Each structure stands twice: as structure tokens, then as C-alpha cells.
Amino acid sequence: MVDDRLNVMVDKERINKEELEKYNIELIEDNMVRVRLEDIMVHFDGYTVKVYMGKHMAERQCGLCGHFDEEKDNEFFTPKREYTDDIMEFHKSYLLNDECEVEKDFLHEKKHYKLENREERVEEEHFYEDDYRRKDKERTYKYRDEEEVLEKTHVMEFPHRVCFSLEPVRVCRKNEEMDEVIDKKVRFTCLPRSSREARELLHKVRNTVLDLKHYPISFVETIQIPRTCTVY
């Protein structure tokens, strides 16, 4: 980030807007980029990275994000294929090279790091499994026709802005969940999260469809919407 604006660099060279498409990079507004590759998609807003991978990539990924194999006991292998149980040392091995100098006080400050133990994980898994079975017994299936599905303004929230769909999209009712889904390209407009207008729209969107036809288009995103809904 430079002056609160994203600078895109590839191999340490700054890339102009005209060159972004060549690298499968899409600039969404001034403060978000989306990188689309064959098996992966990355969103970055200058603060948070979100990585999306297809299920077919299971057990084919390694590194800082783990192995994507639904196992948590073998995640912390450094680039040198050495195992460590120190999460911060694991992160440092990928993020810092030997020439980087980090303040000693910072190295000992691990207040944001926690490793979930196996007992906690097993207990949580049992809780969700039992809860799923209970709900599955209560569930009855009923399909609503496409035209009966409700429509609402779709909201996407980011650290420094809030985005609203310019047109309403289909949603399921409170006692329903999506069954069959379809992809739909939706136009969004964005406002600073701290603005009064954004807060007012967030309040209104709970109960009504917003009329945003005069707002500018900030970006277009493909989202999943229900074609049919399952009723509990």
C-alpha cells in the first residue's frame, strides 16, 4: 500500500493497469486486486489475503497455508522440510529470509498465536457431528419454484468498505437453505465503512431492498444464488 492505494508488483517490478490482464490480475476499485489462475483465486485488499482453491487440489498444496488435507497434525513444515511446533517460527521461515532483521522483543511476543490441541478439536468435531445428526432427523424436504424465492440486496463487507449489490438477488427464507444453486454476475457499489451513509444502508438492508440504481458500479462479482431452497 502506498498512500492508501495498492501498488501491483510482479517479480519486484511495478505493473501498470494496462499490463494487469497479461498476469491474470484484475483491479477491483483502487484497493482490491483479484488474481485468477487455473486452480486458485486470490483476493487482496492491502490488508487481508483470501485464497480460494478447488476441492480437486486437496493434498496437492503445501507451505504457509498448510497441506489442505483436513489434517492439523502435520502442518508446520518449513521450506527446508524441517518440522517445528513453534507457529511463529513456521511463519517466519516462509515470510522472512536470513537477511531480514526483526526486533528481538517482537520475536518473543506471541499473543496472537494459539495452537488448538487435539482434545479440543475432537470435542468440537463430536459436537458438530451430533448437531448435524439432530438437524438431519428434523429435516423435511420441500422444493419451492424459482419464482417463489425472495430477493434481497446482497452485502459484501471488507475491512475499510461495505459493498451493496445494485440489483436484488434471490435468497432463501429464514427456515430454508440453498439446495440447487446457480452462478450470477452481480454489480456492486461500495462506500467507506466509516461513512454515515454506509451505516444507514446497513440498517435499511435488514428489512428492505435498497434502491441503488443511481449509484456507480464499483466492481462485478460472480456469486452463488439459490435456484431451489430446502425447507426444514
Contacts of 174 (CB under 8 A, 6+ apart): none
Q: Measured on CA atoms in the order 81, 94, 8, 52, is the torsion positive or negative?
A: positive
The total domain count for the chain is 2
In-domain check, residue 144: no
pLDDT digits (tens, 9 = 90+) for 182-199: 888 999 999 999 999 999
In-domain check, residue 71: yes
Structural domain harbouring 38: 9-100
Q: What is the pTM of this model?
A: 0.39
pLDDT digits (tens, 9 = 90+) for 160-177: 899 999 999 998 887 788
In-domain check, residue 57: yes
91 and 158 inside one domain: no
Q: What is the pLDDT of residue 187?
A: 92
14 and 76 inside one domain: yes
In-domain check, residue 175: yes
On average, the pLDDT of the chain sits at 73
Where would I find the H helices in the chain? 87-95, 104-108, 118-138, 196-204
Residue type (1 letter), 73: D
- 206 - beta bridge partners? none
- Phi, psi (degrees; rounded to nearest 5) at 231: -100, 135
